[in-house]
Amino acid sequence: MRFLKYCIMLSLLPLLLTAPLPVAGAAYPTDPVHIIVPWPAGGGTDNIARAFAAALESTLGTTVVVDNVVGAGGITGTFQVAKAKPDGYTLLLQGSSDVSTAMVFQKTPFTLEDFDFLCAFYSTPTWIVSHKDRGYTTFQEFLDAAAKTPGVLTLASGTPAGAQLLMATGIHGYTGGKFRIVPYQGGGPFRKGMLSNEADAGVVHSPVMLPEVKEGIIRVLGTGQPLDKINYEPLRETKTLKEMGIPLEVGITRGIMLPKNTPPEIRAKLLEACKKAASSPAFADFGNKFGFSPIWMEGPDFKKLLSEEVATFAFIKEKFVDTQKK
């Protein structure tokens, strides 16, 4: 009997040797996928991430968990993904200008080349808001009041090192800076601070605080990019910084970045699932309620956007930050 089994095994050996090997990642995903958000819960990026994760669960066929990894102005969570295993189970959901400004303002432990850029699906301008009790209806009114009381008024920034701080810094430089800049640690803390009327005005990525704008508690004084596509008609004619004579254009595009060298077959599965999630009725419904309809941008274009932002923001830093240190 043993001899017979041995003969059968020998006869099957050629078939086993010539059988095709399993394709790497063919079973992906078999475990929960984690989306790292490098900002506190409650902010714009966090809200977008949670809505997108819910849509991605359906298209990817596995549990998708959002983890808020906060610290160093978004650098801690971003770096965690850069050094993560490239197996498709750790994704970064981050905003373009938050990454690019961090790289410009700080010595980051990563570069754009440490990531595989998968896609982007949500883009919004960065705007200037103020509590109604401050009495401002336009950003020029804030600037005029600051000029009359130098060093007294405050302009809050939604982050300590991102695009929102850069926009505040650029405004400070181009207008002669008669106000003080106060940074917050993310959209969630910023929102609480503005509702508590802690600052005279503040810079944050739209549509953070849109519900409070609709209620009349918060006013939008200006915007870094046109608001013509916002799903709230009264704000569509809001003046941009350029229309005010301030040559700045700031917004943010959120998307997915992966650890470098993620296998092509896993990237392909993720890309297909993300594209379906971004165009799903559920995510479209979230976008319409949140303030803007979703977009779609392929990975190479997302990376190109960040590269262009790095160059633009480096110029602003050199002009208004580095010169003050000399």
Domains contained in the chain, number: 2
Asked if 114 and 260 count as a contact pair (C-beta separation under 8 A), the reply is yes
Q: Percentage of the chain surpassing pLDDT 90?
A: 79
The 3-state DSSP class for residue 5 equals: helix
Beta strands in the chain, from DSSP E residues, in sequence order: 33-37, 64-68, 90-95, 115-131, 154-157, 180-183, 201-205, 218-223, 251-259, 297-298
Within this chain, do residues 91 and 136 fall inside the same structural domain, yes or no?
A: no
The residue among 194, 228, 250 that closes a domain is 250
The residue among 205, 226, 250 that closes a domain is 250
Peptide bond connecting 40 to the previous residue in cis, omega within 30 degrees of 0: no
Q: pLDDT for 60-95, tens place per residue? A: 999 999 999 999 888 999 999 999 999 999 999 999
Residue owning tokens 């704008």:
213
Within this chain, do residues 113 and 154 fall inside the same structural domain, yes or no?
A: no
Within this chain, do residues 37 and 175 fall inside the same structural domain, yes or no?
A: no
Which residues have a Cβ under 8 Å from the Cβ of 193 and sit 6 or more positions away?
156, 184, 199, 202
Task: With respect to residue 211, please indicate whether it lies within any of the assigned structural domains.
Answer: yes
CA-CA distances (angstroms) from residue 35 to 72, 92, 94, 270? 18, 6, 10, 12
Q: pLDDT for 112-132, tens place per residue? A: 999 999 999 999 999 999 999
Task: With respect to residue 322, please indicate whether it lies within any of the assigned structural domains.
Answer: no
Residue 70 dihedral angles phi and psi, to the nearest 5°: -100, 150
Within this chain, do residues 91 and 189 fall inside the same structural domain, yes or no?
A: no
Within this chain, do residues 43 and 153 fall inside the same structural domain, yes or no?
A: no
Within this chain, do residues 238 and 100 fall inside the same structural domain, yes or no?
A: no
Task: With respect to residue 5, please indicate whether it lies within any of the assigned structural domains.
Answer: no
Task: With respect to residue 264, please indicate whether it lies within any of the assigned structural domains.
Answer: yes
Which residues have a Cβ under 8 Å from the Cβ of 95 and sit 6 or more positions away?
45, 162, 163, 205, 252, 253, 254
Q: Domain containing 148: what range?
A: 125-250
CATH of the domain at 288: 3.40.190.150
Q: Percentage of the chain surpassing pLDDT 70?
A: 91
Asked if 294 and 121 count as a contact pair (C-beta separation under 8 A), the reply is yes
Within this chain, do residues 89 and 108 fall inside the same structural domain, yes or no?
A: yes
Q: What is the DSSP string of 179-205?
A: SEEEE-SSHHHHHHHHHTT-SSEEEEE
Within this chain, do residues 204 and 290 fall inside the same structural domain, yes or no?
A: no
Candidates 22, 31, 38; CA nearest to 87 is 31
Q: Model-level pTM greater than 0.85?
A: no
Task: With respect to residue 282, please indicate whether it lies within any of the assigned structural domains.
Answer: yes
Within this chain, do residues 112 and 255 fall inside the same structural domain, yes or no?
A: yes
Q: pLDDT for 133-182, tens place per residue? A: 999 999 999 999 999 999 999 999 998 877 898 899 999 999 998 999 99
